[in-house]
Every structure is written in structure tokens, then in C-alpha cells.
Amino acid sequence: MTEREFLFTKQDFDKLRKLVNEHTGIKLSDHKQEMLYSRLSRRLRILNLKSFSKYYELLQKDGGEELAHFINAMTTNLTAFFREPHHFELLERVLLPKLLIKKQETHRLRIWSAGCASGEEAYSIAMVVKEIVPTHWDVKILATDLDSSVLAKGKKGVYEEERIEGISRIRLRRWFKKGAGTQTGRVQILPDLQELITFKHLNLMHGWPMRGPFDIIFCRNVIIYFEKSTQKILFERFANILDNESYLLIGHSENLFQLNTRFRLLQQTVYING
């Protein structure tokens, strides 16, 4: 067996995964030990620490900046533009047209991308909204995540060109600007799209400052990292902040079976509240 760069015992793992659970709600199983070691090793190098026990001691003393680095390292930020495309097709063909009828008196729409990572999901939603919803409507998209570093990227709206390979030419021309000079190989989201979205740091396990009600919540491939008791709490909170007859979209490997009775299934991974 290869000798580790840093001393890392089972006790270290147990202490750190408990800390992960306390601050994020994510429950790490025993087989995640190598993943935790890999993700946190960079922090130990930067801090010039020799063991994970010393790192744990630092986290206990420093409740601020290093704790944020710790949380950022442990949260998963896999995302893409129009990931799980059937949701965006449904948004375009069914959900938004229904909401345009339902909300024709108020002309108000509120959408939440919960666990937005670096913003690709929120911008994908915004593209569909801009293409479907009349310009005079009051539409706002809230994009939240636990990881402050990826939120900063989302707010900036600059992406590598390979990130946009699956987007149609029409949308590329309408919503993206190619970088030049030092920005060659990158694209910038146009301000017209950015103005729809507010990026905010939010821990789903803590208090939610927004009041809602929301018409659509995207919370995809997020709850899979929580234990069942936490999932029940989160789905109840989502139900409370959604308007009646509004929509919750979750990831392809997630479901609400035996977790909440306030939602009914519209189609796989898409639920209606009320």
C-alpha cells in the first residue's frame, strides 16, 4: 500500500465527516474516506500541516475562513448547461405556458435554482424564460449554493468554450459573447440574461431569508447527499415556500417516495405542490 502524504486515521475521518454533516447535512459513508482525503489534502499543503488531526484542530479554532474552504472542498459541483435536458423541454412546453395562464393577473414569476453550483443551471433556466415569457413580466431567478467559490464564478458569468458545446447556435448567438485577447477560449453571458438572476450563498440546512412564494424550484442532484430524515425536512420546507400548484424538479436518481405527501408526481422527477 502506498504511504500517504499526510497522517490520516479512521478517527480523523470520523471527526471530519461529523463536521461535514453538522455544517452541510451531507452524510459521508465509510467508503468516502479516500474521497475526503483527496479533497482536503490540498488544504493541508497550503496550510503546511502534516496531519488531518492538526487540520481538524484548526477547523475547531477557526470558525470562519478555513471552515468556508472546508465546506467548498467537500461539496460536489458537477453541473452543465441544460443538464438533464428533458426538464428544460418541459419548462418550455408545459410548465411556463401553464404559469403564464395561472399568473396572468399578477405577471409575477419566481424561480429558485437550489444548489446552482457555478450557475449553468440558472442561466439555462433564464434562457428558456427569456424565450417564452413576455418582456413586461416581473420575473426573478434566485440561484443559491453552499460553495462560495463556485457562486462567484456563476455571478461573473464567464465560462470556457468547451462548456457550451451542447448549446444550439441560436442560443449561442443570442446569449453569449466570445472572449478576445486574454479571454480567448472563454465566453461571457450577456447582461440581458444576467439581470434575471440573483446569486446568493445559502446553506439549505440553515434559515432561509427569502419568503417566496416560488413557482418553480430546481433542486437537482442535491438531496441525494442527505440522509432520509434531512430529506424529509427539506421537502417539507420546499412545500412551504412553493405557491399552490407549483413545481419541484429533482435529479434523475432522486424521488419523494415515502418522504413527503404534499407533492404529487407530474412525471418522473417532476412534482406538483398542493
Q: What is the pLDDT of residue 61?
A: 85
Coil, helix or strand at residue 205: coil
DSSP structure class, residue 133: S
Pairing of strands 214-219, 108-114: parallel
- Which of the residue ranges 86-90, 132-136, 146-150, 232-236 would you say has the lowest mean pLDDT? 146-150
Catalytic residue chosen out of the listed positions 12, 145, 215, 243: 145
Secondary element (H or E) of residue 102: helix 96-102
C-alpha cell at 70: 472546508
Q: Number of helices and strands (H, E) in the chain?
A: 11, 10
CA–CA distance, 125 with 84 (Å, rounded to integer): 12
Q: How many residues does the chain have?
A: 274
Which residue is listed with cell 412564494? 213
Domains along the chain with CATH numbers: 10-74 (1.10.155.10), 85-273 (3.40.50.150)
Q: What are phi and psi of 68, to 5 degrees?
A: -65, -45
Which residue is listed with cell 418541459? 90
CA–CA distance, 10 with 107 (Å, rounded to integer): 56
Catalytic residue list contains 39: yes
Does 114 score more than 60 pLDDT? yes
Are the C-beta atoms of residues 204 and 25 closer than 8 Å to each other? Answer: yes
Please report which confidence band the pLDDT of residue 1 belongs to, taking 50, 70 and 90 as the band edges: very low
Specify the amino acid at residue 240.
N
The residue-averaged pLDDT of 237-260 equals: 93
Mean pLDDT of the chain: 92
Q: What is the pLDDT of residue 162?
A: 87
Share of the chain above pLDDT 90, in %: 70
The residue-averaged pLDDT of 243-255 equals: 92
Please report which confidence band the pLDDT of residue 182 belongs to, taking 50, 70 and 90 as the band edges: confident
Rounded to 10 degrees, what is the CA torsion of 257, 259, 262, 268? -30
- Which of the residue ranges 58-67, 189-198, 244-253 would you say has the lowest mean pLDDT? 58-67
Please report which confidence band the pLDDT of residue 134 belongs to, taking 50, 70 and 90 as the band edges: very high
Instruction: List pLDDT tens digits, range 154-179.
Output: 999 999 998 898 899 999 999 999 98
Does 24 score more than 80 pLDDT? no
CA–CA distance, 225 with 61 (Å, rounded to integer): 27
Does 78 score more than 70 pLDDT? no
Catalytic residue chosen out of the listed positions 39, 108, 171, 262: 39
Instruction: List pLDDT tens digits, range 140-149.
Output: 999 999 988 8
Share of the chain above pLDDT 70, in %: 97
Question: Could you tell me which residue, 80 or 138, shows the higher pLDDT?
Answer: 138
Instruction: List pLDDT tens digits, range 197-206.
Output: 999 999 999 9
Are the C-beta atoms of residues 187 and 161 closer than 8 Å to each other? Answer: yes
The residue-averaged pLDDT of 68-93 equals: 85
CA–CA distance, 138 with 175 (Å, rounded to integer): 20
Which residue is listed with cell 475562513? 65
- Other Cβ atoms within 10 Å of 234 Cβ, number: 19
CA–CA distance, 192 with 186 (Å, rounded to integer): 18
Beta carbons within 8 Å of 218's beta carbon, 6+ residues apart: 87, 111, 112, 113, 114, 121, 125, 249
Catalytic residue list contains 145: yes
Peptide bond into 213 cis (omega under 30): yes
Please report which confidence band the pLDDT of residue 63 belongs to, taking 50, 70 and 90 as the band edges: low
The b-or-e profile of 108-137 (16+ CB within 10 A means b, else e) is ebbbbbbbbbbbbbbbbbbbbbbebbeeeb
Q: What is the pLDDT of residue 199?
A: 98
